[in-house]
Amino acid sequence: MIPQAYLIDFVRLKSPHTGENIQQLTEDVLDEFEIKEKVFKIITDNASSMIKAYKFGLLVDEETDKYGDISKSMSGTAPMLDDYDHDIELNDFQVIDVCQDDDIDDPEDPATLRLSCFAHTLVLGKCQALAKFSHKSSKVADLLDELNQRINKTNVTRWNSEYLLIKSILLIGKNDLESITKLMDNSITFSNKDFTVLEEIINILEPFYEISIKCQVEAIVTASLVVPAVVHLVTHLRDIKENLSFCTKLAQQLQSSLEIRFAGIIKRLNQDEVENNDPFSDSIYFMAAALDPQFKFYWIRDLRLPANAENRLKQNILQLILDYISKYVTTSSTNSSHQRADQSFSSLPLSSLSSATFSSSTPKPKRRKLFNYNDDNNDESNDSTSMDAANELEAYINDPVRSRFSEYWLNSPFSILKTLVIRIFSVQASSAPVGRVFSYAGLILSPRRANMNEKLFKDLIFLKVNQHLL
């Protein structure tokens, strides 16, 4: 059960590249292959044309962005690195975002088809202050070669480029950095306070970097990463504030931004009512996390919820799964399964749902590893072989085995859950597979091949992306 991404068609989209044209071309391709009725979810980036193309409750407000102004220049207003009379704020970074329009929401279809690309939503902008540090000088390049170091460039189309820029500067070291800055026309002095600020920024942004890399992996399921990743980021920002001297406000504003950008997930975690047009309001993310044996409910420990609240959250997620099974999954014992799935999950023993108390004895400065949970769930496995959906779910939750996703479900005896897993985990958290297609296209359509025939170009892309089928 290893996820595979295939390219079924590669079509030239002539201008104008409007949402209507993109939607029409998509429908034409789906109709050609007669798979329109088989589409489960559509993952896109947050480009305005892509959002408008599928018209599923999201719209970019081109005049006002409630999350921040993305049209600010990267130069001109940025403070010098040695001037930190104020706290570092999120406004010092450029952000890419979308906002919602209630007028577009379809109240008759609460289960929307389009999902935001998790990775694109995590994108941070470019650090304006550090963008001034130019590395176009040949003298600076020669000195960096001697030091066997390099300074990453910022790129508005590359995720984490500001993080990699700051980290590359810190790796050079203060003394060598002084030698480099003396060669610049407009010399910049990095004080000890500046290095402290940069280190704090790295400590804040490091989980964002790790998660954006993980959710783009090609050969593993990624839908189950979304909720544990959001929980990890929220708790990371919560815990790191005590160790910050200059970037407290940045951490606070990032936390507020997460609560807005992932409002659907945050509301479910807080057991609040979720609106259909809330970002990431689809319940598939919680079901995917629970149905991944690597995660199950281990990630809930990081929230440090009271025992009753934790059990309610688990029951709500399990009920989401049972309700989904009763609605979409067809089994040989449909009536029996539906009858049990319609019942509340309160019939399952709460002892099997409770987890060990979260330990906070680890020193604060030592950052927790991403998706690393202590295996203190010592409940014995439930060996029930019933085909009933609720029994299968109970046996799965109580199973202490934490093997890899593909290995676990390939050999799993839970036939009803396996059917649901195949459906849910066809969704990926990122639109990275499409991004890889464009990367291949950029390599093939080089300047020396500018006169390449359009059909030949299409065929080469098709063969390159689907080469594992040959």
Total residue count of the chain as it appears in this document: 470
User: Against a cut of 0.85, is the pTM above it?
Assistant: no
C-alpha span between 124 and 136 (Å, rounded): 24
59 bridge partner residues? 99
C-alpha span between 56 and 36 (Å, rounded): 16
C-alpha span between 147 and 43 (Å, rounded): 43
93 bridge partner residues? 127
| CA distances in angstroms from 191 to 82, 101, 196, listed in the order given | 6, 46, 9
Beta-carbon count within 10 A of 31 CB: 10
Residue 93 phi/psi, 5-degree rounding, is -115, 150
- pLDDT by residue for the chain (470 residues), tens only, comes to 677 788 888 888 888 888 888 888 888 888 888 888 888 888 877 777 777 777 643 333 333 334 443 333 333 333 333 344 445 555 544 433 333 333 334 434 434 566 665 554 443 333 344 445 454 667 777 777 888 887 777 666 666 777 888 888 888 888 887 787 777 666 677 778 878 888 888 999 899 999 988 888 777 788 889 999 999 999 999 999 888 888 888 888 889 989 998 999 999 999 999 888 888 888 999 999 999 998 999 999 999 999 999 999 999 999 999 998 988 775 434 444 444 444 444 444 444 444 433 344 444 566 767 777 655 444 444 444 445 888 888 988 998 888 888 888 888 888 899 888 888 888 887 777 888 888 888 888 887 777 888 888 888 888 888 888 87
Buried b (16+ CB within 10 A) or exposed e, 297-318: bbbbbbbebeeeebbbbbbebb
Look at phi and psi of residue 76 and say left if phi exceeds 0, alpha if psi is from -120 to 50, else beta: left
H helical segments located in 130-247? 138-147, 161-172, 174-181, 192-214, 226-240
CB 250 within 8 A of CB 201: yes
Rg (Cα) of the chain, in Å, rounded?
25
